[in-house]
Structure 1
Amino acid sequence: MINIFDEEPARLHARYLAHLITKTGFLDFDSGKTLPVKEHGGVMIGVLLGTDRYGNEVLLKAISGQQRKLARYVPHVITDTDFQTHLDTYDALIKNPHNTPFNKSEYSAQALNHYYGLYRFPTIDGSTVSLFECFGNRPIPTGSGDCAAIKLLAYALGNHIVPTSMTEFFYGDGTRSHLGFYQPCEERCAPILKRMLGLYPVYRDKHLLIVDKPPHLRSIPGTVESDSIESRVRKLIPSAPVQCAAHRLDMDTSGLIVVALTKEALSGMHHLFRTQRVRRTYEALLEGILKEEETEITLPLRADITNRPYQVVDHEGGKEARTHVKRIRVEEHPEGHLSRVEFTPYTGRTHQLRIHSKKGLGLPILGDRLYGSGMKSRLYLHAKSLEFT
């Protein structure tokens, strides 16, 4: 997973931190000196810069793993009290010599489930999310919630500290490069950070951020509902332009959306979109069998002024709308035969792909609540790639 924050300021502090650890030989060099580097092996260390509610700059550091308490490092996500209660409850049960193998296995499973339930992560919107909510029906990998980045963000968000920069580096022996900087891992960190931050970044530099928008979320704030990609980015990166989304996706559509981090980048991206120098491709599931392997649709569109937000085909007063369609394959689903297709729009009209699919191909997109049956929890339309120079 891509780190959504600017890493460079935090990396300056991280390099100095690594220098002090090397010089003293202890991870806790500025406190009790109880963790010699030689005995600890390899470890991921994180550094976060932020601003507290009074405008003061705050520097935080964290070590990955289940280390309970280490002076001058942020604490574990699970409090000492909750952890001790957990041990008191399950240790005796599991270690009882009269346990049958079945009972021991049952108690161990209960203990693990209870332990996972102790993880609660603060989010950028002020709520909390559990480990189970982060992973859903997927198995929870061992060590989830113990990574340095998650500890840093949990402490910052739980103590009204606005993060401005964060980085992680590896120190010591192991399969990773000593003093190398690393991004949060996909397996354990990404599902948690995605829920904590409310965004899933796939690319970032000093000028642009590209995020994977989930369905049912607006690209920009509405007149009533303010939650959107723009508002979430602004919470995490206040220096971004107020109207930072370089383009929009329908609320029902998921996929890649470009966010500008500077006014200059926003102006440049708007120029690229206006001059049609951005190539976008979408993947969709259509209700039924598409016979053509490739085709092109040219149906002019306009808003249905008597029935918003619907759009209609209008050969007289509509604006040009053109879409290339490529069939990937036909699939069998419980709903029947579905066609997986790739759309490449050459214009960017509202609901263009949804109407071109329904009116041009005669096959609505699966889950389309406006132009199809809407018999699914989401629209199966995803913006999967962007190309521009």
Structure 2
Amino acid sequence: MTPTKTSIATCFIPFKGVIDSYALPERFTFPFYYEPHPLSILAAKELQEYLEQQTDWEHNFGLDENQEGSVIGKMFGVMVVKNEQNEIGYLAAFSGKLAEKNIHPLFVPPIFDMLEEDSFFLIGIKELTQINNRIESLESNPEFLELSRLLKTETESATKKLEEQKLKMSEAKKVRKLERKKIESENLDAASLEIKMNALVRESLKDKFLLRELTEYLEEGISVIKQKLNHYTSEISALKEARKEKSADLQQQLFDQYHFLNNNGETKSLCEIFEKTALLKPPAAAGECAAPKLLQYAYLNNLQPIAMAEFWWGESPKSEIRKHGQFYPACRGKCEPILGHMLEGLPVDENPLLVNPALGVEIETIYEDDFLAIINKPAEFLSVPGINIMDSVYERMKLKYPTATGPLIVHRLDMATSGLMLIAKDKDTHKLLQSQFIKRTVKKRYIALLDGIVADAEGEIDLPLRIDLEDRPRQLVCYEYGKRAVTKFKVIERTDKQTRIHFWPITGRTHQLRMHASHSLGLNAPIVGDDLYGTKASRLHLHAEWIEFKHPVTKETMTFQVNPDF
């Protein structure tokens, strides 16, 4: 049985069964790091059943290999709410558009429906399409293509001819220099000397004249081609400038339509919200995510927000890591400023990222001498102070070694990762150890438990990574702007559903092992407990278990190993 279809005005969906046994949360979900409330999980399950069974619209999520059309996975959101009759139900929303539309039965409407018939947005898109079509027509014109090819060919030919002429002039200059020395050594009378020297000067002037004549001749030929080509390029440039201005105007006009409520009944425009951020202006598609849609509808219809969750449905984008059916936090780039306003006046769970998980946790020292120390960093422990939490390996080492000089921290581990770290007690030791890391002579091995079966016994993963600018600190696979990231791996053992594995990071990119494990182009098996690219657990099952380096003073090769607690 699928949920009952509802109109835009009645998007409140009653739960199918009795929910009296569910305790309501005291506070609303903190949207950027959460464990879904049981009612949110139940609402998501009902919505997923609808997505599997519905025939209201067609959208290719990539779940059926026989379905035609572009594959587009989608983020969906559910929000448990209480209506004015004290009934508990939920709302449903999707991010962006679905099946090329903004409005569908069951789902709350967008903040602004840019796809409404004859809307300024669609009219503007039509105008931009006409400009694009004209540009494409000009740039594919056979005469334009031939003139462009000819200009390139003639320019390259002219450059080559001028370089050849300059080379001849250079060789002739060397010959004249030798001739001048020879003449000076012949003890000629003044008149004869002047005649011969003047002859050399005339040769030099002749070469310069020929170069100038050749340059003018070649430039004249190229100029004729440019004049013919300008008939096209001037119009193309004007069209591109018009497209740029119209696109910016359309985007601004679109931003002006978005106004967001909060629980206090206050309204802010999209531009007002973002003008106080580092971006200064909204990114494209801001306000189109599921979470703002859900809150806006709840406020407009006197529904009390109780809990919320978002999940991914369908195939993952090529650059990101999104697992079908898995819950995810709201994105930070677009949603954090908007939700920061929309949640005002609403009791919300504490931000768990502000709580110091290392409070009361001790750091084990594995080895120590006068120059360095090896420590076993616990999981969920910062290597260096963060924005909100100062407690870290660095701060603890400062307290333990108050007379130490230099930065102390030679290399870092992600907060969630446990394992071996090098600590330098003085500047010289720090410099020498860092030099080994830079030269990649330090050898490190990690052990991890993966949620899935890795078929290959060993291999190498080479996927370039960069920061997700719209959802920090998540990383993306990006072949255009990403930095090269390489990891070697070897399977230790397999169980029915998990793989224990060794990793050797050749490079040291942020979240490299986590991305390479989870991404579909990597091992496609997230590390157990990975709350960014997999499923949250008691901890991230990733441990830096082995390290080998040369002692910067004794020059002895030192090797240390600490087994994980998983």
TM range (shorter): 0.3 to 0.5
Q: Which has the higher helix share?
A: 2
Q: Given the two structures, how large is their TM-score scaled by the length of structure 2?
A: 0.33
Q: Which has the higher strand share?
A: 1
When Rg is computed on C-alpha atoms for both structures, the one with the higher figure is 2
Q: Given the two structures, how large is their TM-score scaled by the length of structure 1?
A: 0.48
